[in-house]
Every structure is written in C-alpha cells, then in structure tokens.
C-alpha cells in the first residue's frame, strides 16, 4: 500500500497518568453506600442543583409548553424516523424453534430487559437527538421501564427543557435530573426509582464512560465510547468545499474529536487542507474553539494511490462515522466492512445521522467497529435459548454427551447423561 499524509495529527504529549479511575470508583462506592443522599450531594456539588431529582409530570408539561411549536414538530418528526427504523429492526428479529434431531427441539425467545437506563448529556449542547436515539430504541424493543438521567442545573432551573420534551415524546417512564457519575450510579443502583437498570446506554464524558466501564458485568452497557470521530473517503469527483464543511461540522463536537479524510486526489486533499481552518474559524462558539483544536491536533488528510488502498485505510481506522463521496458507490458499499454507520454519496452527511434520519447515532468508537455495531433494539433484548427432548431423543443425546464428557474427563457430566440414556421413559 502506498499512502502518505498531506496533513498528519499534531504530536501530543503523553497524558499524565491521572486518578480518573480511582476517583470514579470512589464516587460509585459512595453512591452504593449512601444512596440517594449522596446523589443529591453530588448534584449540588457538580451542577449546583438542589431541586427535585425525579422530574414530575408538571415540570415535563411546562418544559414542552416553553418550547416553540416548530421545535416540538421537528422533535416529533425526528422521533418518527428513529422509531420507524427501530421498528423495522425489531421486525427483522424472530423467535424460532427447530428440530435439531428427531425428538430434540430447540430454539430461542427474544425477551426485552426489564429496566433500561438512558444517559443524555447536556453540557455545551442540548442533546435532543441523544434522548430520541436511546429512549425510542428502548421503547420499541419493549423494555418494561425506561429511566432517563440528564443533568439538572441551577442555571437552567432543572433538566434542559428540549431534552425533557424529547425524552417524553420518545417514551421515557422516569426522568432523573442527574448528570455524570452520580447519574450512572443512580441508574445502576436503582436510586430514586427502586428499579436498578439491567443495561446502561448513551454517550457521556470520560467520567461517564469510566463509570459504565467499572459497572459492566453488574449491569450491561452499550459501549465504552470515546470522542466522536468521522472519516470521509473522497475522490476527484467530490466537491472540496462540501468535504471541508462536513469535516468541520464533526470537529465541532470537541477538541479531541478526530476527523479524517482519505482521498485518491492530491488536488482535492490540498484544497480541503486550505479550506478547513477558515471554515472552522467562521463557526460560533463553542464550536469554533473545538473545531480549530480538533483539526489542529487530530485532523488527518491521507493520500492513497487507488480506491482499494483508500478503502483499506477506512477499514483500518474503523471510524464511528464514514462518509463516501466517490464514483462507483455500489463498489464502496460492498467493499467497506468496518464502520459504525455509513453515509453514501454527496447528499448524505453525518449530521443527518446525528439528528434525524433514523439509524441510531450511538455508535462504536476507538476501532470498536471492527467487532460491533451501534445501539439497536437487540441491545435491549435477550436471546434466550431452550431445548426439550422426547425420551427417545434423550437416549441418543445421553449416549453422545456421555462419550464426549468422558473424553474430556468430566465424569459427573457423563453420569448425568447416562441417566437419560438408560431411562425407560
């Protein structure tokens, strides 16, 4: 493979090993020990919030009433797209039962978890779409109780009203005004609800990600997400301005959000490198600062000789989002294997996936797309297998399983199988 960087990421100093893991562990333990009182203390300490943690129906109604009708219409329309896509996903999943051998029937049932915990961040941005993506998918999957946690702040007078509206429209059963580690702990331990979550989903900062990582096993999680990342594959047919605008749009997420371009056109790559700084500079805050820093420190432009080499780079990076602006889109669609979500052609943009198109935007990062996809209804559903045998089938299976057990040296297993093989029915 012959590739070169027209723009490489800036060398970054090694991060000093900090005590993030220890701090999160201590916070979780204090929540486990002191429960709701500790969660309230942390809400006051970190967000200045000393109001109600469980958001009441009146507050939700007031939040919806405070929003422009056009915004509520837009939230409702985006919810419809996300719901329809999730419902199609659910319809594609089926219970089944087959006769593996005469008299031996086996199958699986699809059973939703009882309680899901959906975290919705609300720092620099109002993450309306994150509420829609997680809560809608949980609801469509058939989860019994969907609990949402999103930061309530003194400055806002509670949870962001647009997030409250989105979560309500999407089908949330309970909404908690909590952020950060205290939110993840409350969801996992069932604080304020009495119903511990079976699975935790949703994006968040490094503290949220670390809390989910530490609780995995005690509770299910969707993924340990890193900073948002996006890659564009483009050739000479792509418009440089459109490519640059899309890169800057994703760099807006944060100072540590990598954006990458892989191209077979040197002319395109050089023009994009020229355009991006000015487009980033033209953003309003806080996006401007984030985009400039992300491009400076993490932006890359990679020049490949052939489409095959460019596609191989895409699969190696396994990006969270992958846009393709090239000729022969069907070839790219079939060739690419590692990505969280794919955006084909110049009319598709990650922004559509982020906000409203339908496929879920909670996606794998840090090359996890090599082995998993994004949030979907199956994340909330258990595949429960079962088997049932006739006496005749049990005799056949008993003899087979006993032989394998003894070969493995597991005599206890073999004797259990012998009972069935020797049974008179």
What secondary structure letter does DSSP report for 219? B
Q: Does 224 score more than 90 pLDDT? A: no
How confident is the prediction for the chain on average, in pLDDT?
91
Q: Average the pLDDT over each of 12-16, 166-170, 419-423 and give the range with the smallest value.
A: 12-16
User: What whole-number distance in Å separates Cα of residue 138 and Cα of residue 87?
Assistant: 11
Which residues in the chain are classed under CATH 3.40.50.1980?
A: 20-221, 227-373
Averaged pLDDT, 383-401: 93
Options 3.90.280.10, 3.40.50.1980, 3.40.50.300, 1.10.443.10; CATH for 20-221 is: 3.40.50.1980
Q: Considering the candidates 320, 347, 408, 413, report the single residue annotated as catalytic.
A: 320
Options 3.40.50.1980, 2.60.40.10, 3.30.70.360, 3.60.21.10; CATH for 227-373 is: 3.40.50.1980
Q: Considering the candidates 321, 388, 413, 422, report the single residue annotated as catalytic.
A: 321
- CA-to-CA separations, 303 to 44, 266, 320, in angstroms, rounded: 50, 7, 20
In which band, very low, low, confident or very high, does the pLDDT at 369 lie, cut at 50, 70 and 90?
A: confident
In percent, the amount of the chain with pLDDT more than 70 equals 97
What secondary structure letter does DSSP report for 284? P
308-330 pLDDT, tens per residue? 999 999 999 999 999 999 999 99
Q: 144: which 2 tokens?
A: 């019994």
Is 321 annotated as catalytic? yes
Closest by CA position to 166, among listed 87, 52, 63, 57: 63
pLDDT at 397: 92
Is 238 within 8 Å of 272 (Cβ atoms)? no
User: What whole-number distance in Å separates Cα of residue 218 and Cα of residue 119?
Assistant: 17
* Beta pairing class for 321-325 and 341-344: parallel
Q: Average the pLDDT over each of 69-73, 121-125, 150-154 and give the range with the smallest value.
A: 121-125
Q: Does 79 score more than 50 pLDDT? A: yes
pLDDT at 17: 35
Averaged pLDDT, 191-213: 93
Which pTM value belongs to this model?
0.86
């Amino acid at each position: 493979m012959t590739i070169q960087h027209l723009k490489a990421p800036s060398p970054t100093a090694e991060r000093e090993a900090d005590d993030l893991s220890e701090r999160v562990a201590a916070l979780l333990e204090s929540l486990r020990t002191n429960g709701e009182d500790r969660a309230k203390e942390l809400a006051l300490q970190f967000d200045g919030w000393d109001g109600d943690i469980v958001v009441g129906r009146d507050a939700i109604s007031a939040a919806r009433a405070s929003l422009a009708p056009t915004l509520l219409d837009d939230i409702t329309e985006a919810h419809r797209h996300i719901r329809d896509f999730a419902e199609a996903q659910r319809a594609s999943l089926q219970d089944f039962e087959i006769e593996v051998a005469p008299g031996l029937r086996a199958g699986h049932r699809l059973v939703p978890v009882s309680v899901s915990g959906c975290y919705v961040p609300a720092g620099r941005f109002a993450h309306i779409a994150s509420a829609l993506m997680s809560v809608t998918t949980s609801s469509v999957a058939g989860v019994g109780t969907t609990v949402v946690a999103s930061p309530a702040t003194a400055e806002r007078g509670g949870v962001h009203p647009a997030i409250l509206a989105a979560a309500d429209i999407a089908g949330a059963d309970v909404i908690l005004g909590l952020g950060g580690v205290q939110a993840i702990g409350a969801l996992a331990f069932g604080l304020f609800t009495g119903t511990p979550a079976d699975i935790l989903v949703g994006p968040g900062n490094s503290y949220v990600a670390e809390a989910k990582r530490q609780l995995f096993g005690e509770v299910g999680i969707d993924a340990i997400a890193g900073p948002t990342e996006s890659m564009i594959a483009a050739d000479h047919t792509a418009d440089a301005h459109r490519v640059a605008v899309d890169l800057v749009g994703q760099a807006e997420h944060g100072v540590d959000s990598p954006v990458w371009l892989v191209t077979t056109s040197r002319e395109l790559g050089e023009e994009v490198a020229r355009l991006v700084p000015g487009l980033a500079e033209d953003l309003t805050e806080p996006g401007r600062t984030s985009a400039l820093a992300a491009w400076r420190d993490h932006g890359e432009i990679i020049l490949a000789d052939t489409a095959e080499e460019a596609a191989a780079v895409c699969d190696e990076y396994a990006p969270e989002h992958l846009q393709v602006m090239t000729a022969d889109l069907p070839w790219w669609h079939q060739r690419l294997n590692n990505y969280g979500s794919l955006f084909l052609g110049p009319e598709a943009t990650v922004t559509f996936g982020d906000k409203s198109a339908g496929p879920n935007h909670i996606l794998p990062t840090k090359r996890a797309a090599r082995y998993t996809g994004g949030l979907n209804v199956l994340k909330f559903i258990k595949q429960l297998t079962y088997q049932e045998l006739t006496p005749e089938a049990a005799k056949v299976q008993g003899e087979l399983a006993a032989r394998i057990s003894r070969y493995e040296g597991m005599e206890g297993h073999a004797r259990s199988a012998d009972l069935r093989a020797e049974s008179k029915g």
